[in-house]
Chains A and B, each alone.
Chain A
């Protein structure tokens, strides 16, 4: 194990890999700064650049940028009252008032440092979990893994949108789309309708680009504004370092919020949005001055910012060990890993332990680099938000088109991306959540493989195994959790 750890470290510290890590961290920060361009858009657009790279380098490029998206997202929340990503939403409650009081620099210092420290703690939690994960994973057979996939899709379907039915439909459509093409067991061409293109199935890249990146371009094209066009921007004074000290003054809160983020991040489907609000509530509950919350409380920034970065480490736990993504971002990441030749799942911890540790180090180093970069260049980074959409929109479209084409050097992949983009657009307009679809697509083949194996090894009653029954029970709770919690809310 120590050997794998050292191998992972030396892999990440290789000059070429390290240089790529720094580059992708900066790109990730830019994606975080621009509201609407999420971590998923980052992954969707960056995957094509990793074609031909070795798995370690590709993983570093994807993970480093994705890990720091939320770090920069807090800057726009503080300066222009628009969160860079959804996970930075609580930051504006106290960050923007603090900026209006003339302490924008301090607020940014707090947000960026808390994010960096949170990310490092998330990585440490992941490294501490790896030895136990190997033992736990071995207890899972095909039936349990099948139900774990179902559990993951159900959880994301439950929390991703307002309607459970729509979430479940999205998940099911995702699985069905993944089944298009030749069946591995009988070699039957399924749902291809005679199309040669569909024989090899729809690729993950057209799905990811179409679902997440294209609707974003359409939004930029249809609104036609820069992010900060009509919003006053607070000036960044020189008290950034005061904010850095604030985080270490409240070290206990930083640690607790990071733990909350990592633990919640590890539950499949319960993503950043849940973790950050719980961390914010926890910060308020445990504060000596709760009355300051909403008026520029430093703890109100530390809580959510620590949690939103530490949850990446937590979300990697189920992703690496079971191949079940801990969040919708991780679902895209899982698809990206498959494209670059990594296959997270039960055997991954045994066969690629060095890459697991390399991921931990990438997570830790990217967060440190990202935080330092933001601290020194926040005032310049903020200017990105005034880039007019007339430059941003075609540039992103160019990346989408090239990415879709380079995936298999096939024009039809571009057409598929546009068709799926229209579906993604429809899903946004009619409030059908997209994360369950991508998760269903990524897990679809696994669901089928575990389903066949379960029937073969344990017969039709494979769901009667004790661990399977527990997972079925958890799935049912997941399905009705929303109703139960709403019921409790009304009762209270």
Chain B
């Protein structure tokens, strides 16, 4: 028998979530709180059951539960979140193209291949979303500032 600490931690977080749901919906009118309250209570019970179950896992089960399919998770997460400030500053057209270029170039892509990938994304975004679907796409803070200065 082995204690699965990670599982207990996650289940505790979920239990806390359900507890917050229960406490938050309590002052609502009866019709508005009926279902979320019921679900919150059931969810809380299930989360507690998982915590209890985690104390009774065999070492093999613990190993299976903790399997991580992402070898370079933090690096990937950083790359994923970088896109947000890039978009905010450069807008969708330039930002997405620049991000694609940067990602490809810094992941052993050749100069011309990365540049081509970046330009293709800019062209793709423009043709599909601006020309064909006629949607408005944000230009980014830097672009707006530049226009203001001019």
Interface set of A (CB-CB < 8 Å, partner B)? 49, 51-52, 162-163, 165-166, 168-169, 172-173, 175-176, 179, 183, 185-186, 188, 190-191, 193, 214, 217-219, 221-224, 388, 390-391, 393-395, 397-398, 401-402, 405-406, 409, 411, 414-415, 418, 421, 425-426, 428-432, 447-448, 451-452
**Interface pair A49/B39, CB less than 8 Å apart:** no
User: Is the contact region of chain B dominated by helix, strand, or loop, or is it mixed?
Assistant: helix
Q: How far is the CA of A179 from the CA of B38 in the complex (A)?
A: 13
Contact partner of B50 among A169, A172, A388, CB < 8 A? A169
Beyond A169-B46, A191-B21, whether A430 also contacts B10 by CB under 8 A is yes
Within 8 A of A (CB), among B104-150: 104, 107-109, 117, 121, 124-125, 128-129, 133-138
Q: A391-B104, A429-B69 are in contact. Are A218 and B21 (CB under 8 A)?
A: no
Pick from B29, B40, B53, B67: contact of A186, CB below 8 A: B29
Within 8 A of A (CB), among B1-42: 6-7, 10, 14, 17, 21, 24-25, 28-29, 31-32, 34-36, 39-40, 42
Tell which of B32, B73, B84, B133 touches A183, judged by Cβ atoms closer than 8 Å: B32
Using CB atoms, name the residue of chain A closest to B48.
A165
Most chain A beta carbons < 10 A, residue from B14, B39, B75: B39
Q: Which residues of B have CB within 8 Å of A191?
A: 21, 24-25, 36
Please indicate the chain B residues that have their CB under 8 angstroms from the CB of A447 in the complex.
Answer: 35
Range for the number of chain B residues in contact with chain A: 35 or more
Q: Nearest chain-B residue to A415 (Cβ)?
A: B84
Measured CA separation A426–B66 after assembly (Å)? 11
The answer for the CA separation of A84 and B50 in the assembled complex, in Å, is: 33
CA separation between A418 and B42, bound complex, in Å? 28
Known: A52-B134, A398-B124, A402-B129. 19 other contacts (CB 8 A): A51-B133, A168-B42, A169-B14, A193-B24, A217-B76, A219-B70, A221-B80, A222-B70, A222-B76, A391-B104, A393-B103, A394-B104, A395-B117, A402-B96, A402-B137, A406-B135, A415-B84, A421-B80, A430-B6
Contact: B72 with A451, CB < 8 Å? no
Asked if residues A418 and B103 are in contact (CB atoms below 8 Å), the reply is: no
CB distance from B126 to the nearest CB of A (A): 11
Instruction: Specify which of A394, A401, A402 lies most central, judged by the most chain B CB atoms within 10 Å of its CB.
Output: A394
Residues A391 and B109 in contact, CB atoms below 8 Å apart: yes
Question: Are A166 and B50 neighbours in the complex by a CB distance under 8 Å?
Answer: yes
Per a CB cutoff under 8 Å, which of B34, B53, B76, B107 touches A218?
B76
Interface flags, B87-107, vs A, CB<8A=1, else 0: 110001000100110011001
Question: Considering the chains assembled together, what is the distance between the CA atoms of A190 and B36 in angstroms?
Answer: 9
Q: Write out the residue numbers on chain A whose beta carbons fall within 8 Å of the beta carbon of B84.
A: 414-415, 418
Residue of A162, A222, A421 touching B73 (CB-CB under 8 A): A222
CA distance A418 to B80 in the complex (A): 9
Contact A179-B29, Cβ < 8 Å, known A218-B73, A398-B96: no
The contact of A165 among B6, B53, B109, B125, by CB within 8 Å, is B53
Residues on the A chain within 8 Å of B134, using CB:
52
Instruction: Select one of A165, A176, A402 contacting B39, CB under 8 A.
Output: A176
A218-B92 in contact (CB<8A): no
For A409, the chain B residues whose CB sits under 8 A away are 135-136
State the Cβ distance, B134 to closest chain A Cβ, in Å: 8
B32 touching A394, Cβ below 8 Å = no
Question: Would you call A402 and B32 a contact (CB within 8 A)?
Answer: no
Closest to A164 in B: B46
Which residues of the partner chain B approach A405 to less than 8 Å between Cβ atoms? 92, 137-138
A395 touches B80 (CB 8 A): no
Q: Are B75 and A223 in contact (CB under 8 A)?
A: no
**Assembled-state Cα–Cα distance A368/B7 (Å):** 46
Q: Which chain A positions have C-beta within 8 A of B24?
A: 191, 193
B35 touches A179 (CB 8 A): yes
**Contacting residues, chain B, for A221 (C-beta < 8 A):** 72, 75-76, 79-80
